[in-house]
C-alpha cells in the first residue's frame, strides 16, 4: 500500500498563489502516477491533474491547465501542486491520491488527508 501525507493550503485573496505538497511512502514502484483532486461543498470530487510516476509527464483537466502546475522531487518522493492566479471558484478541499492505472488516468485509490484552500474576492 501507499501512504500520502499532505501539507500546505490556507487562505489567499483572488489572484494569489499557493503551493501544496504530498509526500508518498510505501510501495510506489508499481503505481501509474500521483494525482490531485478537489471537492467543493455540495459538489462532486473533480480531477485536477496528475504526474506519471516513471516519466514525470504531467496531464491536466482543461479548466485548470495554464494556472496550475504539478511537479515532483524524486529524491524525497514529494509531489507539488503550484496554484497561481487563484479564483474564488477554486475554493475547495484539495487531495492528492495514487492513480493506480493508465486505464483510469483520472481516478484515485489511496488518498491523502486533504487540505482546505480558501480564495476570497
DSSP character string of 42-78: TS--EEEEEEETTT--EEE-TTTBTTEEEEEEGGGTE
* pLDDT computed for residue 75 by the predictor: 77
* pLDDT computed for residue 71 by the predictor: 96
Written as tens digits, the pLDDT of the chain (121 aa) is 899 999 999 999 999 999 999 999 999 889 999 999 999 999 999 999 999 999 999 999 998 878 999 999 977 789 999 999 999 999 999 999 999 999 999 999 999 999 999 999 9
Instruction: In whole angstroms, give the CA distance from residue 80 to residue 18.
Output: 10
Amino acid at each position: 500500500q501507499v501512504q500520502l501525507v499532505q501539507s500546505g493550503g490556507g487562505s489567499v485573496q483572488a489572484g494569489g498563489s499557493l503551493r501544496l505538497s504530498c509526500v508518498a511512502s510505501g510501495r510506489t514502484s508499481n503505481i501509474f502516477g500521483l494525482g490531485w483532486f478537489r471537492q467543493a461543498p455540495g459538489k462532486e470530487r473533480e480531477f485536477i491533474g496528475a504526474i506519471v510516476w516513471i516519466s514525470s509527464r504531467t496531464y491536466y483537466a482543461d479548466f485548470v491547465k495554464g494556472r496550475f502546475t504539478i511537479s515532483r522531487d524524486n529524491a524525497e518522493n514529494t509531489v507539488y501542486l503550484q496554484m497561481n492566479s487563484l479564483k474564488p471558484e477554486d475554493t475547495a478541499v484539495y487531495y492528492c491520491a495514487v492513480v493506480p492505472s493508465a486505464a483510469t488516468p483520472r481516478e484515485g485509490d489511496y488518498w491523502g488527508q486533504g487540505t482546505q484552500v480558501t480564495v476570497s474576492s
